[in-house]
Amino acid sequence: MEIVKNTVVTLDYKVKDPDGNVVDDGAQPLVYLHGGYDAIFPLLEEKLHGLKVGEKLSVKLQPDDAFGEYDESLVLIEDRDCFPDTVEVGMSFERVGDEGEEDMIFRVTDIADEKVVVDGNHPLAGVALVFDVTVSAVRPASAEELAHGHVHGPEGHHHH
């Protein structure tokens, strides 16, 4: 069976940066609903369309096709007292957006002199990514998966 709209695709994959450093070792296969359901990067989905089980693909995504360019305006310096006493570098906090704005996740990148530096960029923003994938399975999506717009596991889907 080939990858077409409304199929469930299983990929064995590895993601590297342009220098060959492994970003995601693909320890768990990637399973997604194909056909514009925003489950994977659109350019990667486009390149996978029409492939069959066993076929391989290597595709390089520029930052604009992956996690976006790095945006310096998303690096903020906040007062230490705005955070819990247990704040540490590496922690993440969600900022709930005002009406019409998206919620954002900010990571703590530095703490010094009663200030906390937070970064709202995805950790891979500004990085090109190389996806090496092998199509390991393709099947028709179930009516329920199509209705919900995502894949359900082998035991059914229980977290709606």
* Regions in the chain scoring below 50 on pLDDT: 155-160
Residue 158 lies in a domain: no
Please provide the size of the chain in residues.
160
Question: Residues 89-114: pLDDT tens digits?
Answer: 999 988 887 777 778 899 999 999 89
Residues 137 and 100 in one domain: no
Tokens of 41: 């990067």
Tell me how far apart the alpha carbons of residues 111 and 16 are, in angstroms, rounded to a whole number.
30
Pair (13, 45) in one structural domain: yes
**What is the rounded CA–CA span in Å between residue 74 and residue 156?**
39
Residue 139: beta bridge partners? 8
Question: In this structure, are 61 and 30 located in the same domain?
Answer: yes
HEC readout, 14-31: EEECCCCCEEECCCCCEE
62 and 17 both lie in a single domain: yes
Tokens representing residue 12 in the block: 């064995």
Residue 126 region, left (φ>0) first, then alpha (ψ -120 to 50), else beta?
Answer: left
Amino acid at site 31: V
Residue 34 included in any domain: yes
Using a cut of 0.85, tell me whether the model's pTM lies above it.
Answer: no
Looking at the fold, whether 61 and 102 belong to one and the same domain comes out as no
Q: What is the DSSP letter of 97?
A: P
d(CA 156, CA 63): 35
pLDDT digits over 26-36, tens only?
Answer: 999 999 999 99
